[in-house]
Chain A
Amino acid sequence: MGDKVLMKGNEALAEAAIRAGCRHFFGYPITPQTEVSAYMAKKMPKIGGTFLQAESEVSAINMVYGAGGAGVRVMTSSSSPGISLKQEGISYIAGADVPCVIVNIVRGGPGLGGIQPAQSDYFQATKGGGHGDYHLVVLAPSSIQEMVDLTSDAFDIGDKYRCPVMIMGDGMLGQMMEPVEFKDTDASSLPEKEWATSGTGMKRKKNVINSLFIEASELEDLVLERQKRYDEICKNEVRYEAVDVEDADIVLVAYGTTSRIAKTAMAKAKEKGYKVGIIRPITLWPFPFEAFEKALSKNTDKTFLAVEMSMGQMVEDVRLAVNGRANVEFFGRTGGIVPTPKEILAKIEEIGGAK
């Protein structure tokens, strides 16, 4: 436990990774996450770590693949267009069961898009992105403190289940400063990495890290075994915040930066007499379906309002969770425009009718 320090999200995240034992970082600069790389460039040489600015995002993710395969804690960071470039590598990493942490500080898209905050990479992060039967665990912090705490968790989850983990923020979280406290972390309960290609020392059989399996039955067995780990993740790692959802007429569903704005709107709506609650997914995959069961436990006569900085991506998971039992609405801004509490309040009033 230490004193609180005022830090920029990108820098706090980088410091949290170092404190979690990450000693290898491979990246390529892109707004709005370049401070992650800059912080690593400054710190890693002083603590015996590796900072390497690769020639491209494609190289960086493959360096992550190699380092992760050797069993060390490794991270890369980028923003939307850069994350698209990494997708092939991410699929290989998932296919080879290599743990690593990938940070996406999302900006407006598609294409090169803009550099302002967005959440329009939700589909890419949670529904694939790369090819094949795989998932990323996707963690979505809404404050700098949570960004720090989840960074440590991201490494632990990756090591425990042998999978790549994504931390998904947005430009606002990356750039803003808030007070943070770095807590002591303890990774001692995690399993030894017996699979790692860290040298046999002539004492064991060689390990192989690979994602190519020509024999169909062998590949199916591996995918099935991996699915069992995904099932465990769904059982153990779902995280969310749910406030006043049982008695609400309108349940807001929002994550990251947008959830904070939605909370401001919620407070204003309550002052006006609306019964409003909020579900804030912290894990985007696995999606917190149980929060919706909780919200629907008393009655289903309510509306779920998904609020996103996108044209409506998470809202599809909201519809799956609600499964036709209640009304689902959407409000979003995109292209780097951050919704205002006023706009969300207006949507709440539209749904709830005049008070």
Chain B
Amino acid sequence: MTYETIFAGFGGQGILFSGKVVAYAGMLEGLNVSHLPSYGPEMRGGTANCSVIVSDEPVASPLITEPTALVVMNGPSLDKFEKAVVPGGKIFIDSTLISRKCERDDVDVYTIPATQMALDMGIAKLANMIIVGKLIKETNMFTWEQLEGAITKLVPASKAAMLESNIKALRAGYEY
């Protein structure tokens, strides 16, 4: 099984970190993974995206042109990547920040008000983890335990409060 996910949004939303959590979880499970961030001129325009592949086979091209899943946290990202998703793929939309509907009818669309949820929970900067929780749940890429294990290893042990918030955010998305 090969999961090819594009994460996209504004700089500062933790887009690259979202991808890193998924890649890291895959690595811990002994799978082949790659994480390719955008670093081009579009980043100067405030948007960020990354391509994350998790596969039981060696990762050939790290560049994703036909994602099996798309996570978008702003309107321009939905515009940019919506058409690229494979038929039958999954699109995850932060509905707090994206008002329009997805125009595809051959993919599964999950809308989640991640940014509003994060604000309500008092963890405004962790909307990204809420949406990652939803992604993992709906794609079955990992179990909850595997996801929790990955974030626990990724957040330094010295930052216990930060870890707790991240787990809370992932859980909120996972159960949404």
Contacts and interface: CB of A to CB of B under 8 A. Distances in A.
A176 B16 CA distance: 11
Given A115-B40, A175-B39, A176-B37, A267 B60 contact: yes
Contact of A6 (B35, B37, B39, B62): B35
A264 B61 contact: yes
B39 A340 contact: no
A85 interface: no
Interface in B1-44: 20, 23-24, 27, 32-37, 39-41
Given A4-B27, A260-B60, A338-B63, A178 B40 contact: no
Contacts of A340: 63, 65
Contact of B33 (A6, A257, A338): A6
B36 A175 contact: yes
Contact of B65 (A260, A263, A342): A342
**Which label, helix, strand, loop or mixed, suits the secondary structure of the A interface?**
mixed
A172 B63 contact: yes
Contacts of A179: 27, 32-33
A178 B34 contact: yes
Contacts of A257: 62
A336 B42 CA distance: 14
Contact of B63 (A32, A177, A261): A261
Contact of B39 (A4, A171, A338): A171
**Contact-residue bracket for chain B:** 10 to 19
A264 B64 CA distance: 11
Interface in B39-55: 39-41
Given A171-B39, A177-B34, A178-B33, A6 B24 contact: yes
B154 to A, nearest CB: 9
B35 A260 contact: no
A176 B39 CA distance: 10
A3 to B, nearest CB: 10
A6 B36 contact: no
A177 B61 contact: no
A80 to B, nearest CB: 15
Interface in B43-98: 59-63, 65
A264 B60 contact: yes
B37 A341 contact: no
A31 B39 contact: yes
A148 B63 CA distance: 21
Interface string A173-190: 001111100000000000
Interface in A16-33: 31-32
A84 interface: no
B39 A32 contact: yes
A288 B43 CA distance: 38
B34 A263 contact: no
Given A6-B23, A6-B33, A340-B65, A115 B39 contact: yes
Contacts of B60: 260-261, 263-264, 267, 341
Contact of B62 (A4, A32, A172): A172
Contacts of A31: 39
Nearest to B41: A115
Contacts of A171: 39
A116 interface: yes
B66 to A, nearest CB: 9
Nearest to A178: B34
A171 B63 CA distance: 12
A264 B61 CA distance: 7
A175 B34 CA distance: 11
A60 to B, nearest CB: 22
A6 B65 contact: no
Contacts of B65: 340-342
Given A177-B36, A340-B63, 17 more contacts: A4-B27, A6-B20, A6-B23, A6-B24, A6-B27, A6-B33, A172-B36, A175-B36, A175-B37, A176-B34, A177-B23, A179-B32, A179-B33, A257-B62, A260-B59, A261-B60, A261-B61
Interface of A: 4, 6, 31-32, 114-116, 171-172, 175-179, 257, 260-261, 263-264, 267, 336, 338, 340-342
9 contacts: A4-B27, A6-B23, A115-B39, A176-B62, A177-B20, A177-B23, A260-B61, A264-B60, A338-B63
* Cβ-closest 9 pairs across A and B: A264-B60, A177-B35, A261-B61, A176-B36, A179-B27, A263-B60, A264-B61, A175-B39, A260-B60
